[in-house]
């Protein structure tokens, strides 16, 4: 039985070009990127090449890119480390009510430490407006975190408008761009972001690697302790093969974005139109809102989610009823 995979927001396969770029760093180029000898400098050169590739995807400079173990760690550093870097601002943060658990639970952790957290709800389309964020900002607000695109609905958030509000009010702005990478343009300059997160396995890179954009001059408080890796921002020996893979995936995503986005969007629209025409009781969520091109969020009235997933799986079609992190 042939199988159809429709769960790319949970994880994507590693592209052959990405795997090919990674393989030498599991073998002959095995050096520690912190070592000063030739083996180490060879690995360090590969890490720095990848840093430049990721920076180009985000419209950042290489020095603003910090490699991490993935989206969760990057979000945790962005929210917790970002808020704690600004004690003079206050102990109030704002997150949207539709954030991924990596942001949501990071905010919960700060709340347990005595921070006040405001959770801004979206409108009926799933959009968190800049006006609602602006209304929630207080004199003691240190940080705002709003995702670029929702991992379940695919609704793109007005992060450039929110970023402009934060910049005007002097508030740090973190963007979880995990579900935007490779699907819509990421521009941390246009977004006026202070921090931004991506994860390799969401756009055909390997699992276990991510990056955090940190605006030049901003210094999030580290959440773990060790060596001076990543300029002291994230200690721990660099995962060179995975970082190389993230870099290659970033390069491919940047090169192919203009071509792939519209093509995938047409396929999504064709799927949704067919289901709406042929299946009674289908509800399409996010209608009227901007969405990333690869994501359909549909309800089937009267159908139980888990049963539907298992039935489709038996037919060779893989889908999801929510975030994989909640499974």
Active site members = 325
Question: Cβ atoms within 10 A of the Cβ of 161, count?
Answer: 16
The DSSP 8-state label assigned to residue 13 in this structure reads P
Q: How many CB atoms are located within 10 Å of the residue 315 CB?
A: 10
Contacts for 3 with CB less than 8 Å, ≥ 6 apart: 316, 317, 318
> What is the separation of C-alpha 112 from the centre of its chain, rounded to a whole number of angstroms?
25
Ordered alpha helix ranges (H), the chain: 16-22, 38-58, 71-76, 82-84, 101-112, 130-136, 159-169, 188-191, 240-278, 305-314
Buried b (16+ CB within 10 A) or exposed e, 93-119: bbbbebbbebbbebbeebeeeebebbe
Nearest residue to 286 (alpha-carbon basis) of 267, 299, 305, 302: 299
DSSP state, 23?
A: G
Complete DSSP assignment for 78-97: IIIIHHHT-TTT-SEEEEET
* CA–CA separation, 275 and 283 (whole Å): 10
The structure tokens 């203009």 sit at 258
In angstroms, the CA 67 to CA 246 distance is 9
């Amino acid at each position: 039985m042939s199988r159809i995979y429709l769960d790319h927001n949970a994880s994507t396969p590693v592209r052959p070009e990405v795997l090919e770029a990674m393989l030498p760093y599991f073998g002959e180029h095995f050096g520690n990127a912190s070592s000063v000898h030739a083996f180490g400098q060879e690995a360090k050169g590969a890490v720095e090449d990848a840093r430049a590739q990721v920076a180009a995807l985000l419209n950042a400079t290489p020095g603003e890119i910090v490699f991490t173990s993935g989206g969760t760690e990057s979000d945790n550093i962005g929210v917790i480390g970002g808020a704690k870097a600004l004690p003079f601002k206050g102990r109030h943060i704002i997150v949207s009510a539709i954030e991924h658990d990596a942001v949501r639970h990071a905010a919960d952790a700060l709340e347990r430490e005595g921070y006040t957290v405001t959770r801004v709800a979206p409108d009926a389309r799933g959009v968190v407006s800049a006006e609602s964020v602006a209304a929630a900002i207080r004199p003691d607000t240190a940080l705002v975190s709003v995702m670029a695109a929702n991992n379940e609905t695919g609704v793109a958030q007005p992060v450039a408008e929110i970023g402009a509000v934060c910049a005007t009010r002097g508030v740090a702005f973190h963007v979880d761009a995990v579900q935007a990478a490779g699907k819509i343009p990421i521009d941390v300059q246009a977004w006026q972001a202070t921090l931004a997160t991506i994860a390799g396995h969401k756009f055909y890179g390997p699992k276990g690697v991510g990056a955090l954009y940190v605006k030049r001059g901003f210094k999030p408080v580290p959440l773990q302790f060790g060596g001076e890796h990543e300029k002291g921002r994230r200690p721990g020996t660099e995962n060179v093969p995975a970082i190389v893979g993230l870099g290659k995936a970033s390069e491919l995503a940047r090169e192919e974005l203009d071509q792939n986005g519209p093509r995938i969007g047409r396929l999504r629209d064709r799927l949704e139109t067919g289901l709406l025409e042929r299946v009674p009781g289908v509800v399409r969520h996010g209608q009227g809102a901007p969405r990333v091109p690869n994501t359909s969020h549909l309800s089937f009235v009267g159908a139980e989610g888990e049963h539907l997933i298992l039935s489709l799986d038996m037919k060779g079609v893989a889908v999801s009823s929510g975030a994989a992190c909640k499974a």
